[in-house]
Amino acid sequence: MADYEFMITERRGNLGIVTFDRPDALNALNEQVAMEVTDALAAFDANDSIGCMVLAGGDKAFCAGADLKWIASQDFESAYRTDLGAYMDKVAELRKPVIAAVRGFAFGGGTEISLMCDIIVADTTARFGLPEVTLGVIPGAGGPARLTRAVGKAKAMYFILTGDTISAEGAERMGIITKVVPDGTHLEEALRIGSVIAGNPRLAVLAGKESVNQQAETPLAPGLKLERRLFHGLLGTADQKEGMAAFAEKRKPNYTKY
């Protein structure tokens, strides 16, 4: 296994476990932490003997968000040139299932990386939230997109624009996370679920994850583009001309095609 400064990796049978290990900063993300967590999970994903991964944090925090000193040092030019935040997208692109085991704070980037995982198990101390608006920015690692898909526009808009926090119980009710478990049992339950998944036929698990993601993550933009193109095309039909003319002339339309 690779030697990471801020990650602990271990194997338990056919499970790969990655644990944030930056306790002095509540596991906050900087460039190195973001790269290490992504690379550690990707290494297990590429290992044929691993069937599922578990991502865990510490007792006080799963991941308290982005390191503000790091983010504050960024400007538009550097962020745009390096495509800041894009590297962690690879977590959502892993083929094998990833289970987030969350205890304590999972704010900002902590919520975002949780949402990149396939299953989220949280104990009763877990707190989620996207407070970036209070710092003059918005979440930059998929938070708005994934939260909207999880809870719908109205609730996502509220949490994105207020920065309010979400309890573990509230997150479960809204469908953000998979389940809440008693205090301190999050990792045990994540490992139990992971063992069940890893014990199932590998190709069926990969196909199951791919099929669910296909339904859940189909982008909005292509659908809107198709909608507009169909609308544009209908503007060239005889029935459209007749229908609008009849409306303007306050008469019943005489459609000739159907």
Tell me which residue has tokens 């906050």: 28
3-state secondary structure of 174: helix
Q: Is 189 a catalytic residue?
A: no
Cβ contact 114:106 at 8 Å: yes
Looking at 66, 92, 101, 106, which residue is catalytic? 66
Looking at 132, 140, 142, 143, which residue is catalytic? 132
* Bridge partners for 121 per DSSP: 101, 179
Query: Hey, what's the torsion of the CAs at 77, 27, 101, 79, to 10 degrees?
Result: 0
- List CB contacts of 46: < 8 A, sequence separation 6 or more: none
C-alpha span between 116 and 90 (Å, rounded): 9
Query: Cα 225 from chain centroid?
Result: 24
Q: Is 132 a catalytic residue?
A: yes
Looking at 36, 106, 112, 190, which residue is catalytic? 112
- List CB contacts of 15: < 8 A, sequence separation 6 or more: 50, 51, 52, 53, 54, 191, 194, 195, 198
Q: Is 112 a catalytic residue?
A: yes
Q: Is 31 a catalytic residue?
A: no
- List CB contacts of 87: < 8 A, sequence separation 6 or more: 34, 35, 38
C-alpha span between 230 and 151 (Å, rounded): 29
Kindly list the catalytic residues.
Answer: 66, 109, 112, 132
